[in-house]
Structure 1
Amino acid sequence: MATSTVVARKAAYLFLTLCVGALIAFGAFRLYEEFGPAKISVEAIPFGLPAGSSVQRGDAPDLDAGVVKLPVQTQAELRRAVELARGGNAQAAYEIFDAIVLVYPDVPMAMWGEVNTLFEIPDLDDLQRERLALLVGKLQGLFPNSGLSVYLDSRKAYLSGNSSSALEMARIASEKAPVLYETRLWYAKLLFANSRLAQASAECRTAVSLSAGSDPRAYELLAQLYHDQGVIDSCTALVEYALSQYPADAELLLLQGFLMEYQGRFDAAEKIYRRILAFRPDFEKANAAVASLGEKSPPGPGTGVALSPRDRAQVACEILEPLVEKYPENMPLREALGLAYMKGRDFERARTQFREIAARDPDYPDIQQRIQEASVTKPVPVAKNNGLADDLNRAVDSLRVAMGPATKHDFTTMLGHYLVRYGATPGEFFKSYAVGNFRPVKTNVWQESFYVDPYKHTYTVVFDSLNHFREVHVSVFDSSSGSHHLGVAPEIFTRLLKQNSRISGIGNSTGETDCGDGNVIDAAVWETQDNFEILARFVGKPAEVRMVRFDKEALPAGLKLCDYIPYLNEY
């Protein structure tokens, strides 16, 4: 009896001890939650950390303090400056931040934004350097010995050329203030520069999550990291997603162009590079990409050397050339050789193969499209300058047009792509396009001319007898050209064909057609539900290209290619 009582008492003590221990542990956990290091949980952001991941706050200050007290308009300007900085426009962002700080000198967010934009401007003038030193000192005085302060020391060390110290201080800053995403992004950049790609990728993903995907720079860097590690599939997926969020980001578009080149899609890649240069003409990376089109090699893991698409195409050509010579009647084999020439950017020989197929089998599938592709991409070498006469012709054209009304055309309105519906009245047309740029040619016909080096453009707008907009005639002439027809599309036709393809999409090539009376034309046509366009060159007139855009309902039925010659030559 006594023994059982002792055992029961011990069991009760043990149970009581376990209960007290559990209560103590729970209380300690709650105390840790209340007073221990603070954490934040990140949301599910594509290419960021896994959903629900926690990041310690550390000693990161509340930079938003004081922002809500600013006037609503100033808050909007502050947000605009942040967006400009994230989009890579550091100079414009700096000017807005600086204006805000001058009026509200005690707002940490404005000072923080100005300091970071100054760090990104490549060549600071003396005033900007003094401004940077002043603001860095003020921020470090507000947040001494913090991760933010160490981050600023890292940036200063990097500016002074001490990259190793900058890297170590960036590591310390990211440990002291893990939730400060600018610190994580800066650390990732330095890791990338030191070829520590795996660590840099982890920091980038953290920066993506901490910024909630609102900073394209994190996507740019992570995509570049995937690219340089040879993880092309991940890079492609990331670039596609990021461009859906930031469609005009130059760095992401550049990578997209690289990825197109790796697939042998050179024309698509070139269009991307040209698009970048359209809104950032001084972007050297895009200029370099155009200059090296077809020569880039996809990065591979390890130290192996990857062949460029041009090198791989050369191998294919060396295999196919003797086979085509041995079996000249094998059209698929000949087409494969032409495509290999295309991938190697030897467009002259590609076009020769495709034309041979067309001559032997005019109904061969898509052969006219192949001829057009080879023609579009290959410019004839620029003709040599024929001396003073060419220079005078060009100068006279330029002066003649400059003396007329000022005319401005953006890309979408070139080649007569006026954004006015067919059937509009002259009043409706000239609400969109200044009548002062046009001169009346005859009843219901208006014409404008302008010069875009090296070409003179003349666009003629035609209204029907009821005074409804019906068609546009285009004539583009290079008065300095001294080239002669060499059997391939001259530069002016090639350039304008590519330009119109970027506006209207890829057209259908007609090939060269002999229409009699010495008229041999090479053309491309575009057709939609309400629009018909034909762009043509006349063989023997290499300096001139003509085009007509019609209201499709106004065209007579059953027109053939040669029937368009009177329209092409009308104005």
Structure 2
Amino acid sequence: MSHSSASARKAAYWFLAVCCGALLALGGYKAYEEFGPSKVSVEAVPFGLPSAGSVARGDTPDLNAGVSSLPVQTQAELRRAVELSHGGNYQAAIEIFESIVMIYPDILKVQWEELNTLFEKDSLSEREDYRMKQFAEMLKARYPGGVAVYIESRLAARASNTTLAIQLAQVAAEKAPALYDARLWFAKLLLRDGRLAQAAAESRTAISLSAGADPRAYEIMAKLYHDQGQLDSCSAVVEYALTQFPVNMELHLLQGYLAEYRGHFDAADRIYQRILALDPNFKKASEAEATLGEKSPPGTGAAVNLTPRDRAQMAVDILAPLVERYPENLPLREALGLSYLKGREFDRARAQFQEILNRDPEYPDIRLRLQESNVTKPAPVSAADGLAANLNRALDSIKGTNAPSKEHDFTTMLGHYLVRYGATPGEFFKKYAIGNFRPIKTNVWQETFYEGTYKHTYTVVFDSLNHFREVHVVVSDSSVKSNHMGMAPEIFTRLLKQNSRISGIGSSTGETDCGDSTVLDASVWETQDNFEILARVVGKPSEIRMVRFDKTALPPGLKLCDYIPYLKEF
């Protein structure tokens, strides 16, 4: 009896010990949750951390403290400035940040974003450099931990001390693991240093910390895959990220590279041209366009790394003798034409496809092949046309030596007169010399000048109350041939780029059939008080037309084709 009683007591003690252990463990976990290192929960987002979880906060400050107390309009302006900064439009972002800081100097988020934007600019004015140093010292004193180390890393990089910058960035990421900008900066430095595996981990963390809302983290991830030669993964990141950030230049550039690696030179060319239309100063796109067809996929250690154009030439070297030996073999001739096409030798490709068409008009897709070889190259110029074009260009160049008018610097081209709508003729001609204009109607004045080979005609219209209301622009190039095969000619593309630099990114309408054999291709810019439309008529490659309106003067509900009378008015 005593033996069973002792066993029962032992079992009870054992059960009590287990319960106490469980309670102690639970208490320890709760204490850790309450008093231990805090964490930041992150969502599961594409290409982020493998699963939803959390990241230790460390000494990361609450960057959004006080933002919710700002007026709704100010919060919207702050978000817009952040988006501009992330998109690379640093100057516009800085101007907005400065205006907000003047009114709300104690909001950490504004100070932080302006400082990071200043860090991203390649060159700073004296005033900007002063503001950068002022913000840096103030924030380092206020947050001496990870924030201060991160700022020191950025300053070291600006001083060209990359090794120190990487070391400090690693310390910053360890001290403030949830500080998004520190993780992104560390990933960028690791990518530059070729430490791709570490960079991948940091960029995934950055993507998760931003909840996938910042294109820069996706740029780094895509470049990582690209530099490692994992082109399918790179393509997956680029395609996804472009659905979220459709005007990101770096992602579009990688998209162009990927198209080139596949031999799709026309698609790559269109991508580079689209980038340059949006940002003519984007040097990487200009370089990519200049080396179209000469790029190779990132090497994986191979001794010889041929460009797509080299590979196309190798195929030509093999196929050309075979076609000469077996001229009746049309599939062989088609393969030769496609090789010429990939090597961007369009005339030779067209000759092969034309020969196939002559021999067999029903040959599959041969007319499509001919079209491909035609639209990728401007129409050839005959000897007579070439002489006329050269004479026209010479004459236009002589005219251009006296112009453009001193009244027009870059920002005032295409009729962007720096005079507000509603100004009187007296106010207008104080700014622009009346001697450059001639009256052509009541309240209508016109000026003409040459810029290089282009003739510019700007018509200024005042309303019945003699208030400045609209400008009509016609720019023509007498040397452009009419048979441009439907392509957007040089004059349209060039002036679209120019106006994009002045007015920002416009909305392309594509080609629209307006009836009476008029097909209009245009871009539109619209703000609260201004409306601009730049257009070409397909089949008339020698000129573009543009109208700039006081938006309040336009009747409501106009569609694209309704602007034709305005475009043709002068």
Q: Please indicate, yes or no, whether the TM-score normalized by the shorter chain is above 0.5.
A: yes
1:391 — aligned with what?
394
SS of aligned partner of 1:297: coil
Mapping of 1:112-511 within 5 angstroms? 112-144=112-144, 146-302=145-301, 305-379=304-378, 390-393=393-396, 454=453, 479=478, 492=481, 497-499=486-488
**Cα deviation 1:469-502 (Å, max 9, x = unaligned):** xxxxxx99854x5xxxxxxxxx84676632179x
Identity %: 55
- Map 1:531-550 to 2 at 5 A: 546=539
Give 1:319 shift: 1.5
Q: Closer, same or farther in 2 for the Cα pair 1:400/1:285, shift >3 Å?
A: closer
Deviation at 1:364, TM superposition (A): 2.3
Give the match's secondary structure for 2:487. Answer: helix
Distance apart, 1:300 and its partner CA: 3.5
What amino acid sits opposite 2:487 in the alignment? K
Give the letter aligned to residue 169 of structure 1: L
Could you tell me which amino acid in structure 2 is paired with residue 32 of structure 1?
Answer: Y
8 Å CA contact 1:60, 1:147 repeated in 2: yes
Rounded to whole Å, the distance in 1 between the matches of 2:81 and 2:539 is 47
Confirm or deny: 8 A CA contact 1:170 1:186 kept in the other structure. yes
Answering whether residue 114 of structure 2 is matched by residue 81 of structure 1, we say no
Does the aligned pair in 1 maintain the 2:48–2:205 contact within 8 Å?
yes
Do the aligned partners of residues 533 and 321 (structure 1) sit closer, same or farther apart at CA in structure 2, a change above 3 Å counting? farther
- Contact 2:63/2:109 (<8 A) preserved: yes
Deviation of 1:363 after TM superposition, in Å, equals: 2.8
CA 1:4–1:161 in structure 2 vs 1: closer, same or farther (change >3 Å)? same
Judge conservation of contact 1:358–1:364 (CA < 8 Å) in 2. Answer: yes
Q: Which residue of 2 aligns with 1:464?
A: none
Residue 431 (structure 2) aligns with: none
3-state secondary structure, aligned to 1:179:
coil
Seen in structure 2, the aligned counterparts of structure 1 residues 494 and 337 have a Cα distance that, compared at 3 Å, is farther
Instruction: Report the secondary structure of 1:207's partner residue.
Output: helix
Q: Distance in 1 between matches of 2:6 and 2:391?
A: 121
Gaps of 5+ in 2: 406-411, 417-439, 442-447, 458-473, 493-510, 521-537, 542-570
| Matches of 2:476 and 2:364, distance apart in 1 | 34
Cα shift readout 1:225-268 (whole Å, capped 9, x = no counterpart): 11111110111111111111111111111111111111111111
| CA positional deviation for 1:180 | 1.0
Contact 1:534/1:547 (CA < 8 Å) preserved in 2?
A: no
Residues 184 and 206, structure 2, Cα contact 8 Å, conserved in 1? yes
* Aligned residue identity for 2:19: C
In 1: Cα distance, 2:290 partner to 2:377 partner: 14
Residues 117 and 16 of structure 1: CA distance in aligned 2, closer, same or farther (over 3 Å) = same
- Equivalent position of 1:435 in the other structure: none
1:84-139 deviation digits (Å, cap 9, x = unpaired): 11111111111111222222221111110111011011111221111111111111
- Match of 1:212, SS state, is coil
Q: Which residue of 2 aligns with 1:29?
A: 29
Q: Which residue of 1 aligns with 2:529?
A: none
Aligned-residue offset at 1:454? 4.2
With structure 1 as the length reference, what TM-score do the two structures score? 0.72
The Cα offsets for residues 299-329 of structure 1, whole Å up to 9 and x where unpaired, read as 1334554322111111211121121111101
In structure 2, the residue matched to 1:430 is: none
Say if 1:214 and 1:398 are closer, same or farther in 2 by CA, change over 3 A: farther
Q: Which residue identity lines up with residue 26 of structure 1 in the other structure?
A: L
**How far off is 1:219 after superposition?**
0.9
Report the alpha carbon displacement of residue 152 of structure 1 after superposing the two structures with TM. 0.4
Q: Residue 377 of structure 1 contacts residue 494 of structure 1 at CA under 8 Å; is this kept in 2?
A: no
User: Quick one: which amino acid aligns to residue 392 of structure 1?
Assistant: L
Aligned-pair CA distance for 1:401: 12
Partner Cα separation in structure 2 for residue 407 and residue 127 of structure 1: 29
Q: Single out whichever of 388-397 and 330-339 deviates more from structure 2.
A: 388-397
Aligned-partner residue type, residue 13 of structure 1: Y
3-state DSSP class of the match of 1:40?
A: strand
Structure 2 distance, partners of 1:160, 1:495, is 51
Cα distance between partner residues in 2 of 1:297 and 1:492: 35
Which amino acid in the other structure matches residue 31 of structure 1? A
Unmatched 5+ residue regions in structure 1?
Answer: 411-438, 441-448, 459-474, 482-490, 504-525, 536-544, 549-571
What CA distance in whole angstroms lies between the structure 2 residues aligned with 1:95 and 1:173?
28
Q: Distance in 2 between matches of 1:289 and 1:492?
A: 28
**Structure 2 equivalent of residue 11 of structure 1:** 11
Give the AA of the match of 1:53.
G
Q: 1:9 to 1:534 in 2, by over 3 A?
A: closer
Q: Is the contact between residue 484 and residue 539 of structure 2 (CA under 8 Å) also seen in structure 1?
A: no
**Residues 184 and 202, structure 2, Cα contact 8 Å, conserved in 1:** yes
Tell me the number of residue pairs that the alignment of Structure 1 and Structure 2 aligns: 455
Q: Distance in 1 between matches of 2:43 and 2:392?
A: 68
State the secondary structure of the residue aligned to 2:292. coil
Amino acid at match of 1:286: A
Aligned equivalent of 1:54: 54
Change (3 A) 1:128 1:315: same
* CA shift in 2, pair 1:320/1:533, >3 Å: farther
- The structure-2 alpha-carbon separation of the partners of 1:258 and 1:381, relative to structure 1 and needing over 3 Å to count, comes to farther
TM-score between the two structures when normalised by the length of structure 2: 0.72
Matched letter for residue 246 of structure 2 = P
1:510 is matched with which residue? none
Would the aligned equivalents of 2:375 and 2:485 in 1 still touch at CA under 8 Å?
no
CA distance in 2, matches of 1:57, 1:531: 66
Q: 2:8 corresponds to which letter in structure 1?
A: A
Equivalent in the alignment of 1:563 = none
Kindly provide the amino acid, as one letter, of the partner of residue 51 in structure 1: S
1:451, 1:457 within 8 Å by CA — same for their partners in 2?
yes
Q: CA deviation at 1:284?
A: 0.5
User: Residues 400 and 195 (structure 1 numbering): CA distance in 2 closer, same or farther, change over 3 Å?
Assistant: closer
CA distance in 2: counterparts of 1:273 and 1:96, whole angstroms: 30
Distance verdict in 2 for CA 1:530–1:213, change over 3 Å = farther
Which region of structure 1 is more displaced relative to structure 2, 57-66 or 370-379?
370-379
Cα distance, 1:28 vs structure 2: 0.4
User: Compared with structure 1, are the counterparts of its residues 55 and 384 closer, same or farther at alpha carbon in structure 2 (3 Å cutoff)?
Assistant: farther
